Structure 1
């Protein structure tokens, strides 16, 4: 007598076939989530780039193309290079959860020291530059000691420094301006490299440097993409990746083309490029850089992980003092002298560049490249409004609103991310 086995019930049948039917759905869901996470993580930075392009195009239209003329593009580089240098150091300070209000006064004091040695004492131009850097390092060590080892908040220490170093500037200069610097010193911020490779109506060397920069950017991004794929991290599609490289390359070469048709490659741009590359590597690929992000992201966790918080904070401010000194040299070279009021409000421009460029108010977030884009947004806006003859008071209102909206966008993103969890 044979026993008939009843057919499996519907739920049991679904369970039996689940591994075959559900697996593709899970894989598809995971892929969609990865893409969504990738787009979300890049939204803020991509938005900054889009905003920069829109602002450049807007002022090009409003000024009938004057803002994109070769001469004006060169002037933007020369006029705002010292703010970008300050923003490099400031973004590291902000990532670590601090702030530095003294950098404008440090710019003034280091420029004053250089002017006294070179103009008043007749020393070589390089001696003045080295003395300015030494003063900047000493100031950074002074402020880093109070913040890292005494435990006074950076806001208070640097607010005191803003007053202290401005007073020392007045003492060093005897309340008067000193000028002019020798021509060698002036070339730091106003010199150009041109004619090295010739060119018919343009500087071929500038175009070559632009092409090298594009090639380096493409190679670096390709290596990063390969590494992310190797560790099974989400990446954008290859056509989108290529489109991004082509878009950035087109912008860089257009920028180089404009410089090549003006006065060639500014020396200060080379200094700025070296600093951007160096600090990009430091923040992304060194132990020190990872520790800075760890401190800003979660101080308690960083401490428990063995990060020497005091030492890292100390060197963060030493580095800020160094970059403020470099900015002081560039600004005094650009001004061809030292003034007691030099560097006024520079700290606010540098801070605004960092926040507009994606740095978080609470620390732990930010990039050197983002700070540079934020600084360029401020530079293009200021330059464009000046070309349009807009009153200085209105310019301040616009800058303030842009900064407020940038921080509001950061807060909105964090709230949305918290809600999604």
Structure 2
């Protein structure tokens, strides 16, 4: 492998390499505690909202480096309304869930309307939303904490002691068989999709790349999947919050890579004027991006109040920073038009591992903020420098 290929490899997989190095560092720093089964489960459950919000934030960033500052407040407000509906008004759980998702989408559409059709800067519009919905959260809850007692809701969205997919295969006290089966199936699906894609490209005469590299990549990814699967199976199995994260990641990964509307997001971020001249309704692209952000904020709100088994006016603080940071660390461009859902997940995992690793090591909370800030700055500097070199 020549130096040019090495550089291309490092550039393409920079954040994955960093993720591996950071994981190894904290494995050493915590004497392996960060890889305990319960800590792996906690990493997923505690950061489920980040994965969901970052996926939605990616679509906003793709449109030209735009962001949504209101997501933390929307998470809090939707959670507050949902808590009042279920606990104070006796609304059935599934009806409350639908109403919460609709509320999130309506909030997103409200902000999207001003951004898309009146071209109010997203920063100003969503800053306003951050203040408005934080205030409304306090009004709805009266400044108090509201316990969420519905076991159905907490189990469904990843809260309480029973928030795991039942082991209907009868694993007993040993490895959770449902988790193991899910890991094996995931590996088989990944291998099938990868090999089939390679064969289709070869049949059509497209460049297929290095076959050996493809198989090495396949082996590494399957090994990681099975490692995580075994860790989950050793604890209590698959958290229900992970199921929601996988659904969001798979759906939006497909949308951004395989659909027409997905290509529109990249086109608007790459060159909005040219995109508009080609006949694409760029206003609608903005509208969809921010409406979707509200919808996913509602889902993140449900995951939050389920995990914490309560609704509180302070929930959601700094959630927007976690989502934005995950996107930029995961390779999304500050200028828009560049970024992928898998990259965002890598960024969110990196942030989560840094948080958890420093917590286990007993690092001061203020120093944790310093480290996260420096990591975010380094990611954006890397993006800007790389873009200048390529141009």
Instruction: Say yes or no: TM over 0.5.
Output: yes
Q: Which moved more, 1:394-403 or 1:165-174?
A: 165-174
1:184–1:197: structure 2 CA closer, same or farther, 3 Å change rule? same
Distance 1:413 1:309 in 2: 27
2:305 matched to which residue of 1? 332
106, 124, 131: which is aligned to 1:156? 124
TM-score normalised per structure 2: 0.95
2:182 aligns with: 209
Please, which of 170, 173, 178 is the counterpart of residue 141 of structure 2?
Answer: 173
Deviations 1:11-59 (A, max 9, x none): xxxxxxxxxxxxxxxxxxxxx9xx95x7766644411111111111111
SS at match of 1:196: coil
User: Counterparts of 1:228-377 in structure 2 under 5 Å?
Assistant: 228-229=201-202, 233-377=206-350
Q: Give 2:16's aligned residue.
A: 49
Output aligned runs, 1:26-105, within 5 Å: 36=4, 43-97=10-64, 98-105=66-73
Give secondary structure in 2 for the equivalent of 1:181: coil
**Which structure would you say has the larger Rg?**
1
The superposition leaves residues 223-242 of structure 1 with CA deviations (integer Å, 9 ceiling, x where unpaired) of 33344445655443111110
Q: Sort the Cα spacing of 1:294 and 1:231 in 2 relative to 1 into closer, same or farther, 3 A.
A: farther
Partner-residue secondary structure (3-state), 1:192: coil
Alpha-carbon offset, residue 309 of structure 1: 0.5
| Alpha-carbon shift at residue 131 of structure 1 (Å) | 1.7
Q: How many residues align?
A: 385
Q: CA deviation at 1:117?
A: 0.5
Q: Distance in 2 between matches of 1:51 and 1:231?
A: 35
Equivalent residue in structure 2 for 1:198, among 170, 175, 179: 170
Aligned equivalent of 2:78: 110
> In the alignment, what sits opposite 2:114?
146
In structure 2, stretches of 5+ residues that fail to align are none
Q: Which segments of 5 or more consecutive residues in structure 1 lack a partner in the other structure?
A: 1-31
CA distance in 1, matches of 2:105, 2:248: 16
- Structure 1 residue 141, shift from structure 2 partner: 0.5
In 1, Cα distance between equivalents of 2:210 and 2:108: 44
Could you tell me whether the CA contact under 8 Å between 1:194 and 1:263 is conserved in 2? Answer: no
Q: What is the TM-score with the length of structure 1 in the denominator? A: 0.88
Question: Which digits, 9 at most, give the CA deviation of each residue in 1:77-122, with x for residues without a partner?
Answer: 1111011110110011101112100000000000001000011112
Give the one of 186, 195, 198 matched to 2:154.
Answer: 186
Is contact 2:148-2:305 (8 Å) kept?
Answer: no
Residue 414 of structure 1: which of 384, 387, 391 is its match?
387
Tell me the equivalent position of 1:382.
355
Q: Quick one: distance in 2 between partners of 1:42 and 1:303?
A: 35
Contact conserved, 1:181 with 1:333, CA < 8 A, in 2?
no
Which of 221-230 and 389-398 deviates more? 221-230
Q: SS of the residue aligned with 1:315?
A: helix
> Which whole-Å deviations, capped at 9, do the CAs of 1:334-361 have from their partners, x for residues lacking one?
1101100110000000000000000000
Alpha carbons 1:113, 1:128 under 8 Å: kept = no
Q: In structure 2, do the counterparts of structure 1 residues 387 and 140 end up closer, same or farther at CA, with 3 Å as the change threshold? A: same
Partner of 1:403: 376
In structure 1, distance between residues paired with 2:182 and 2:302: 24
Whole-Å separation in 2 of the counterparts to 1:54 and 1:280? 26
**Counterpart in 1 of 2:88?**
120
The match for 1:18 is none
SS at match of 1:370: helix
Root-mean-square deviation (CA, aligned residues, Å) is: 1.8
- Per-residue CA deviations over 1:173-219 (Å, capped at 9, x if unaligned) read 11111113311111111310142112361111101111111222222
